[in-house]
Structure formats: C-alpha cells, structure tokens
C-alpha cells in the first residue's frame, strides 16, 4: 500500500495483456488462449463484448456472411448465439429449423438478437480459460498510465473501481479500448479525426486536417410496446432543446422520423409502427438498406419466432440517425467536456424515447405511443439503455501501412476489386459508412469492394510490443468507416493476438514478421490453419 492509502498490486506472469474488453479484445483473448498463452484482460466497464454487449449493437455484417468472409472463431460465436436460442427459447418449429436463424428478424443484419444473449455467449466462450487459470479478467479497470523503455512498453497501470492500482508487466500489450486510450499513455504515435487530402490523397478527405472532427456516437436503448398501457418516462430536463435541435444539414428537427438518406443525403421519412408484421427483405441491400420501417430495422426479438402466446411484443433496439450525437467528440477534450458530451448523448436518446411516447405520428392519425416500454432485461442493464455509448471512431495508430480510400473505394478501384496486400492477415467487407460528425459534416457513404486487412496496418511505426486490436489500426477517418464493423474488428483482434503468439514462439518481433518472407508466410499459414480467411473468393455484383 502506497502512502495515502492506495492499494497497489502487480501482475507479472501474463504472456499478453489486453487493455480493453471490446469485440477485438474477446477475439484476441480466445486466439491467444487457444495457442497456450496466459492472458490478462482489463475492461473499463462491467462486462466484456463492447459493441455486442455494453453498447447494445448486434453485428453489422456483409451479405455473404453465412458462406464466407469471417474467421472460424467468429463463426463459432455466431453459431453459439443461434444455439443459445435453440436450446433455451420456445421457438416455433420453423424458426428452430432455420439454419440461419435471425432471432429478431431485424433487417440490418442476419443475426439481430438481444445484447444480453451475446453477453452470455461470450462469457461461455471464455469461461473454460477462467476456470483453467490462464485468463484473468479485471472489470471496472481503466488504464491510467504506461511506462516505456525506448521503443517498448514496460508496464501498464489500470485504476480499479475500488480505488486500487494494478501494474501489469507483460512482453506484449494490445490496445482493445473503444477510444484507443492506451496509445497516448504509451506515447504511441497516432492520429484522430480527418486527415487532409494532401496527406492521404483521398477523394472524400478535406483540404486541411481536422483532428477534432469525428463520427457521432450514440446511446442505444431497447423497447417493446404494450398496447393500452402507459410507460411514458419523465420528460427530460432539456427536452425542449433537443426537440428543436437541428444540424445545418438535417432536413428538420433531428428528433423526428425524417433524416438524411446516408447514400443520397436527400430527406428520407421513415415509419415507426410497433409490432408491425415483418415485411420481405430484398436481396439487393443497395435498394433496401432496411431502415424504412424503424421498428423492424434493429428488432432483436420477433414475436413470430416463438410459440404462440410466449412473447406479447417484439423488442427493438433504437440505434438510428436521430440519436447520433454530434455536439462534440470523446477524444481530445477535457474530462469535463467528455462528461458533458456523454450526458448530452444520453439525454438526446431519452428525448427521442419521450418523443416516440408522446408525439410520434401514428397510422391512425393520433400522436405518441405511450405503451413503449424500456426493456432492461434485453440490454442487461438497470434501465433499458445500453451500459455504454456506441463508439464508431477511435484514435488510430501511425502505422507502417495506412489503408486509404483509394485502396477500397468501388468508384476508384472499379472492376479491379480492393487492393490486394501481400501481408494480408484477414478480410472484411462493408460500405465506407461514416455517420455525421462533430465538425458539422453530413454522411459520407461510399461503396467499397471486399477488402483485406494488411499486417502493416497493425504495426506502429515505432513502438515494438504494442499492437492495436480494434478500430485503432492504421486506417484513416474515411476507411475507418468500413474497417470498424464487428467481423473486421474480431479479425483484427484475432490476428494481433496470433501475431503475439507467433512472435513468442519464434522469438522474433512483430515488425520482423512482416519484413522477412519466411516468417510472413509461416505466420499466414498459421492463421489459415486456425480458420482465418486471407483472401476473398471471386465475387460479382457487389
């Protein structure tokens, strides 16, 4: 115990320290543990899983996800979610026998489900290693300091909610935090916000860098609808402000059903009808992005999937353009401003809920759906709001290779497909999907090609033993829009941890693996043997 009463402890027997507990962190831990490493994982919140769990965002994926385009371990996670429902839920016969079961029949993706279920599945996946003693998870542990020795990180300190400090000494560290919080602590060269067109050559980049201009973040919540009941929440204190709030590029008040279409930027009025029967999902998502009817868009529980009478209402997750908070970023601001922005995002979402309950237009000509009820159980929180905000953009390392728009843009690449990388460590696919930003920019939505993940984007330009394991790789503000999605973040985390295992086994450093042909091919061979796809099959019509 230090003077002043602070309780301190040290962890010195881990082969890998994963700081942050998001999607990439879980994938990284599983990969390292499968290969025999001892792992310590820290997480600032009260659960692992990031977007899947604490942020309330089931997977956003590409159209080929059921056939190819993800790692074997990510597919095991998806299969486990479906098996959880088949094992424990009274599904209809047709739902139970559907090989590609979509529990919520949501239109945003093929596996819309309750965040609580993802939490249960991810914990089940790591539990054997906890029991075996090779994995330690420190929850409510925030990184506050890092010691370095030249180009190496020698220790990382986390502050626990009980006031204790834990100093972690490990040969390797992964930054799997949502905001890239370990990068500045360890002095890792990094970038935030928009790079300039002069630096990157990207068609969608601004003329000058805008480091404080970052994508909106959102506070997700879960609701069902109880016809004839009144579940209206207390009117938010600043409801009048948010009810009238209108960014310059928005077609009307942000709280409403009319918002810019991400792809055309033209006004698009959605509908919102609780428990609306499921409509058909078009195969061509470019013509049917799925958000015309907001109730269906991110629905996590669909009544029709269950035996009659078991579920009286669907449950939908509200993660819509209308709750994107653009008043300020969470990075590069004071702790006071960060707290203010977090509170503002939360109140914007509360105001959206209140508006839906009291003012939203109904098909019968009335106003408001007072029967909308928050669902804490689905979100695994006390109030039905996500445990943490949904973060789209992180600090990003200055990397040996930075992925730019020209590498993946369909308009730039055309029929050539995305840039092939000799050092590929995985693949991904999503449109370059940038939400409105804190600098006043509207959507930037650019069609992209199926792409690879270059090892060079995981290697800091200087630091030798710290790797990114999420949205903090060497992408730009623009390409973050397609490299930030769930299967890609999982693949990044898995590749980073596998690289650590390879380096420990072969007694080489990560940068040498990329630079030396023999090591690169051997490492890629190990990834393939572990079920990591390194290249896309030939695809037409994307």
In a domain, 259, yes or no: yes
pLDDT at 510 over 90: yes
Token pair in block for residue 258: 């009319």
Residue 224's pLDDT band (cuts 50, 70, 90): very high
pLDDT score recorded for residue 5: 55
Token pair in block for residue 528: 């393939």
Look up residue 324 and give its DSSP letter. Answer: E
Token pair in block for residue 534: 């390194």
Residues 540, 58: Cα–Cα separation, whole Å: 27
The model's pLDDT over 230-253, given as tens digits with 9 standing for 90+, comes to 999 999 999 999 999 999 999 999
The radius of gyration of the chain's CA atoms, rounded to the nearest angstrom, is 23
Strand partners of residue 39: 16, 135
Residue 422's pLDDT band (cuts 50, 70, 90): very high
Neighbours of 249 (CB within 10 A): 13
pLDDT at 281 over 70: no
Residues 56, 442: Cα–Cα separation, whole Å: 24
The model's pLDDT over 123-182, given as tens digits with 9 standing for 90+, comes to 999 999 999 999 999 999 999 999 999 999 999 999 999 989 999 999 999 999 999 999
The backbone torsions φ and ψ at residue 157, rounded to the nearest 5 degrees and listed phi first, read -110, 130
164-167: long-range pairs with CB below 8 Å, 24+: 164/6, 164/7, 164/8, 164/9, 165/2, 165/6, 165/7, 165/8, 165/9, 166/8, 166/9, 166/10, 166/11, 166/42, 166/138, 166/141, 167/8, 167/9, 167/10, 167/11
Residues 258, 252: Cα–Cα separation, whole Å: 7
- Stretch 8-17: mean pLDDT, rounded? 96
pLDDT score recorded for residue 539: 82
Q: Is 498 helix (H, G, I), strand (E, B) or coil?
A: helix
The model's pLDDT over 329-362, given as tens digits with 9 standing for 90+, comes to 999 999 999 999 999 999 999 999 999 999 999 9
- Stretch 462-475: mean pLDDT, rounded? 98
Token pair in block for residue 398: 């200055």
The model's pLDDT over 36-78, given as tens digits with 9 standing for 90+, comes to 999 999 999 999 999 999 999 999 999 999 999 999 999 999 9
Q: What is the mean pLDDT of the chain?
A: 95
In a domain, 285, yes or no: yes
Residues 210, 192: Cα–Cα separation, whole Å: 8
pLDDT score recorded for residue 232: 98
pLDDT at 2 over 60: no
Q: How far is CA 352 from the centre of its chain?
A: 22
In a domain, 402, yes or no: no
Contacts of 234 (CB under 8 A, 6+ apart): none
Write down how long the chain is.
Answer: 542
pLDDT at 302 over 50: yes
In a domain, 379, yes or no: yes
pLDDT score recorded for residue 289: 63
Can you count the helices (H) and strands (E) in the chain? Answer: 16, 23
Residues 36, 129: Cα–Cα separation, whole Å: 10
- Stretch 371-387: mean pLDDT, rounded? 98
pLDDT at 286 over 70: no
In a domain, 302, yes or no: yes
pLDDT at 288 over 60: no
In a domain, 239, yes or no: yes
What is the sign, positive or negative, of the torsion defined by CA atoms of 359, 239, 384, 296? positive
Residues 470, 394: Cα–Cα separation, whole Å: 9
In a domain, 53, yes or no: no
Q: Which domain holds residue 349?
A: 217-391
pLDDT score recorded for residue 264: 93
Helices (H), 328-448: 335-358, 376-379, 405-408, 410-413
Tell me how many domains the chain contains. Answer: 1
Q: How far is CA 277 from the centre of its chain?
A: 29
Count CA within 13 A, CB hemisphere, residue 97.
3
In a domain, 32, yes or no: no
Residues 316, 220: Cα–Cα separation, whole Å: 10
**Closest C-alpha among 158, 76, 59, 190 to residue 124:** 76
pLDDT score recorded for residue 291: 87
Residue 283's pLDDT band (cuts 50, 70, 90): very low
Buried residues in 57-90 as b, exposed as e (16+ CB within 10 A)? bbbbbbbebeeebbbebbbebbebbbebbeeebe
pLDDT score recorded for residue 282: 45
Residue 3's pLDDT band (cuts 50, 70, 90): very low
pLDDT at 1 over 50: no
Token pair in block for residue 169: 């000494």
Residue 285's pLDDT band (cuts 50, 70, 90): very low
Torsion of CA 306, 309, 311, 312, to 10 degrees: 140
Per the CB < 8 A criterion, the answer to whether 21 and 45 are in contact is yes
Residue 368's pLDDT band (cuts 50, 70, 90): very high
**Closest C-alpha among 189, 188, 192 to residue 143:** 188
**Closest C-alpha among 483, 499, 501, 494 to residue 23:** 494
Token pair in block for residue 278: 């499921």
């Amino acid at each position: 115990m230090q003077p002043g009463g602070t309780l301190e402890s040290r962890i010195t027997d881990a082969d890998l320290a994963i700081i942050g507990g998001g999607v990439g962190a879980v994938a990284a831990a599983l990969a390292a543990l499968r290969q025999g490493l001892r792992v310590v994982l820290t997480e600032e919140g009260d659960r692992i899983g990031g977007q899947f769990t604490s942020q309330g965002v089931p997977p956003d994926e590409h159209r080929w996800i059921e056939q190819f385009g993800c790692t074997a371990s990510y597919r095991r996670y998806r299969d486990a979610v479906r098996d959880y429902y088949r094992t424990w839920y009274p599904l209809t016969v047709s739902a139970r026998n559907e090989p590609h079961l979509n529990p919520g029949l949501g239109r945003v993706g093929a596996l819309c489900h309750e965040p609580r279920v993802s939490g249960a599945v991810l914990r089940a996946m790591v539990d054997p290693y906890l029991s075996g003693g090779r994995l330690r998870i420190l929850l409510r542990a925030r990184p506050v300091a890092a010691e370095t020795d030249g180009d190496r990180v020698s220790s990382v300190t986390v502050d626990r909610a009980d006031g204790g400090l834990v100093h972690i000494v490990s040969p390797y560290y992964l930054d799997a935090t949502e905001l890239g919080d370990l990068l500045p602590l360890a002095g890792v060269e990094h970038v935030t916000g928009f790079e300039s067109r002069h630096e990157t050559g990207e068609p969608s980049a601004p003329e000058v860098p805008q480091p404080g201009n970052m994508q909106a973040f959102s506070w997700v919540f879960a609701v069902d609808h109880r016809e004839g009941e009144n579940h209206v929440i207390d009117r938010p204190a600043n409801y009048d402000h948010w009810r009238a709030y209108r960014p310059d590029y928005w077609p009307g008040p942000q709280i409403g059903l009319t918002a810019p279409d991400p792809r055309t930027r033209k006004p698009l009025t959605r509908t919102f009808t609780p428990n609306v029967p499921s409509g058909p999902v078009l195969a061509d998502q470019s013509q049917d992005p799925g958000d015309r009817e907001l109730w269906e868009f991110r629905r996590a529980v669909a009544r029709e999937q269950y035996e009659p009478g078991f579920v009286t209402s669907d449950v939908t997750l509200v993660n819509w353009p209308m709750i994107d908070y653009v008043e300020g970023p969470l990075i590069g601001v004071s702790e006071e401003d960060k707290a203010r922005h977090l509170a503002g995002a939360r109140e914007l979402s509360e105001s959206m809920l209140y508006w839906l309950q009291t003012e939203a237009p109904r098909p019968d000509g009335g106003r408001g759906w007072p029967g909308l009820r928050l669902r804490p159980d689905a979100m695994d929180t006390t109030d039905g709001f996500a445990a943490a905000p949904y973060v789209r953009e992180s600090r990003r390392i200055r990397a040996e290779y930075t992925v730019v728009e020209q590498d993946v843009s369909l308009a730039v690449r055309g029929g050539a497909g995305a840039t092939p990388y000799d050092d590929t460590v995985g693949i991904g696919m999503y449109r370059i999907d940038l939400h409105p930003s804190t600098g006043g920019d509207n959507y930037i939505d650019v069609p992209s090609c199926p792409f690879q993940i270059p090892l060079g984007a995981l290697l800091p330009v200087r630091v030798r033993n710290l790797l990114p394991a999420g949205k903090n790789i060497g992408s730009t503000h623009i390409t973050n829009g397609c490299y930030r999605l769930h299967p890609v973040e999982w693949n990044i985390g898995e590749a980073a941890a596998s690289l650590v295992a390879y380096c420990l086994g072969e007694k080489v450093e990560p940068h040498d693996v990329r630079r030396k042909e023999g090591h690169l091919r051997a490492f890629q061979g190990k990834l393939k043997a572990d079920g990591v796809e390194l290249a896309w099959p030939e695809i037409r019509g994307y």
